[in-house]
């Protein structure tokens, strides 16, 4: 590894660490734990999911997911129903209140991002947005960033032996 790749790795880790920390603080203002926030956002993006699949996507152990889901059920934010395709599992969906909470979380987190970027000059902000879009494309194509997500049929390809899954 050369100095440039080491510096880039450290820079990406530091940006991710600081932004994640800030987003946790902002999400906490919505009375939502980090795990609950991740579950709500994932259900908001993906729709109903089996609890095991939800855990796989969030890289969380079954017990963490189960406790967080039970708490969200008690708060009226999600519903849990038997999986019609597998009697051993449960399907989790957002309730109406859960959908509203996801909208609130997204608005709060988007507002935080807007506030952060407001301090950047407009031309640099546009450049940053292009760079973030490029980074998103790179991450979406990276096996390690997506190893636990189901492969869409159109994207099916032979399993790469270097994949984590």
CA distance 35 to 42: 11
- Asked whether the predicted pLDDT for residue 6 surpasses 50, the reply is yes
Strands (E) located in the chain: 49-50, 78-83, 86-94
- Asked whether the predicted pLDDT for residue 30 surpasses 90, the reply is no
Three-class SS state of 7: helix
CA distance 59 to 16: 17
Alpha-carbon torsion (150, 27, 110, 16), positive or negative: negative
Token pair for 52? 């095991």
Nearest CA-CA partner of 46 in 129, 102, 112: 102
Burial class (CB within 10 angstroms; exposed 0-12, middle 13-18, buried 19+) of 134:
exposed
Show the domains of the chain with their CATH numbers.
Answer: 9-142 (1.10.10.10)
Token pair for 25? 């603080």
Q: Are 69 and 51 in contact (CB under 8 A)?
A: yes
For 56-100, how does the pLDDT look when each residue is reduced to its tens digit (9 = 90+)?
999 899 898 999 999 999 999 999 999 999 989 999 999 999 999
Under 8 Å CB-to-CB from 83, ≥6 apart: which residues?
Answer: 50, 89, 90, 91
For 12-26, how does the pLDDT look when each residue is reduced to its tens digit (9 = 90+)?
999 999 998 888 888
- Taking CB atoms within 8 Å and a gap of at least 24, the contacts of 158-162 are none
Q: What is the structure's pLDDT at 23? A: 85
Mean pLDDT computed over every residue of the chain: 86
């Amino acid at each position: 590894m050369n100095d440039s790749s080491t510096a880039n790795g450290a820079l990406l880790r530091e940006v991710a660490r600081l932004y994640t920390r800030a987003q946790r603080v902002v999400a906490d203002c919505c009375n939502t734990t980090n795990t609950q926030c991740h579950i709500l956002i994932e259900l908001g993006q993906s729709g109903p999911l089996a609890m095991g699949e939800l855990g796989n996507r969030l890289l969380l152990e079954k017990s963490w997911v189960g406790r967080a889901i039970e708490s969200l059920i008690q708060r009226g934010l999600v519903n849990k129903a038997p999986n019609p395709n597998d009697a051993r599992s449960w399907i989790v969906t957002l309730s109406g209140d859960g959908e509203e909470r996801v909208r609130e979380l997204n608005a709060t987190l988007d507002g935080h991002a807007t506030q952060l970027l407001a301090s950047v000059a407009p031309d640099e902000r546009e450049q940053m947005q292009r760079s973030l879009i490029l980074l998103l494309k790179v991450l979406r194509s990276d096996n390690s960033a997506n190893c636990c997500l189901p492969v869409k049929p159109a994207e099916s390809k032979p399993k790469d032996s270097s994949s984590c899954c």
